[in-house]
Amino acid sequence: MTISYGDVPGFPSHCTVAGHAGEMVIGTLHGHIPTICFRGRFHSYEGHDMQTVVLPVQVMRCLGVRMVLVTNAAGGLKEEFKVGDVAVIRDHIALPLLCGKNPLVGPNDDELGSRFPPTSNLYDVKLQDIVMDVAKELQFDQYLHTDGTYAFVSGPQYESKSECAMLRSLGAHAVGMSTVPEILAAHHAGMAVLCLSLITNKVVFFDDPSGGDGGHANHEEVLEAVKGRGAQMVQLVGEVV
C-alpha cells in the first residue's frame, strides 16, 4: 500500500527536493516481515521545524516499529572513500544539534523516552555486524566501510573547503544535511538504529590549479550516484531486514 505524504494529516503536502518521492510504502518483506518505507524525508533547510523533520519517526513509533534503517546520500571526507562506496555509520558530529536546533528541545514526553537520553549507544552494534555479514554474502563488502562518522550540517549550501577541512579534523568521514535528527528521535523512542551513507560525491578541499571549478558538488551528481548504486542498495537493505 502506498500513501502520499499529502494524504497524511499533519504531514507537509510534499517533498520539495528532487529524488524524494514524498510517499510511504507499507507492506511485508520476504513475505512475513511488516515494513514501512518512507520514500523521501523532510529537511530543515526546506523551512521545516525539527518536530516536522522527525514526524515520520514518531509515526513509526506509534505503529510499533522497533528497528529503523536510515539511508542517506553523503559527501566523502575520508580520503579512502570513493563515489559509490557505502559507510556504516557508527557515530556522528551534529553541529546544528549542539547549537539548539534539536528535535528533543521542548517539553519531553516521558512515554517516548528520557529527558536526557545518552547517545554513546545510539548506533546499534549488532545491526552493524549484520550488515557487514550480508555485504560479504552479496560480495558487496569491497564497497563497504565500517568505521563511518557522519557530520550533520544544516545546508542547503554545500560546505566550503575550510568547513570540509574542519569537519575532517574533527574526525568526520562523511557529511550531509539530514539523518541525525531522525536517528536521535528514533533512539529517544527506544528503537534500534542502523544508518548507511552512500558516498555520492567527494568533497573539495583545495583549489583547482588549472583554474577550473575543482569538481564542486552539485545535486545532479548526487542523483546520478544514487541511480548507479540503487539496485545494490535495495538488495543490501532487503537482506539486512
Instruction: For residues 141-150, give the mean pLDDT.
Output: 93
2 part of a folded domain: no
Q: Is residue 90 part of a domain?
A: yes
Q: Please give the distance of CA 122 from its chain centroid, rounded to a whole number.
A: 14
Q: What is the pLDDT of residues 224-234, one digit of tens each?
A: 666 667 788 88
**Is residue 27 in some structural domain?**
no
* Residue 224 falls inside a structural domain: yes
Q: How many of the other CB atoms lie within 10 Å of CB of 89?
A: 28
Q: Domain for residue 37, yes or no?
A: no
Q: Is residue 26 part of a domain?
A: no
CATH of the domain at 201: 3.40.50.1580
- Residue 107: helix, strand or coil by DSSP? coil
- The secondary structure element, H or E, covering residue 137 is helix 125-137
Domain that holds residue 107: 67-240
Residue 36 lies inside a defined structural domain of this protein: no
Can you tell me the distance from the alpha carbon of 132 to that of 54, in angstroms, rounded to the nearest whole number?
Answer: 27
Is 67 in a helix, a strand, or coil? strand
pLDDT on residue 230 = 73
Structural domain contains residue 6 = no
pLDDT band at 135 (very low <50, low <70, confident <90, very high): very high
Confidence of residue 15 (pLDDT cuts 50, 70, 90): confident
Q: Across all residues in the chain, what is the average pLDDT?
A: 88
144 contacts 132 by C-beta, under 8 angstroms: yes
pLDDT tens per residue across span 31-88:
889 999 998 898 999 899 999 999 999 999 989 999 999 999 999 999 999 989 999 9
Q: What was the pLDDT predicted at 207? A: 58
pLDDT digits (tens, 9 = 90+) for 182-229: 999 999 999 999 999 999 888 877 655 444 555 566 667 666 666 667
d(CA 169, CA 182): 25
Q: How many C-beta atoms surround the C-beta of residue 6 within 10 A?
A: 11
Domain count, the chain: 1
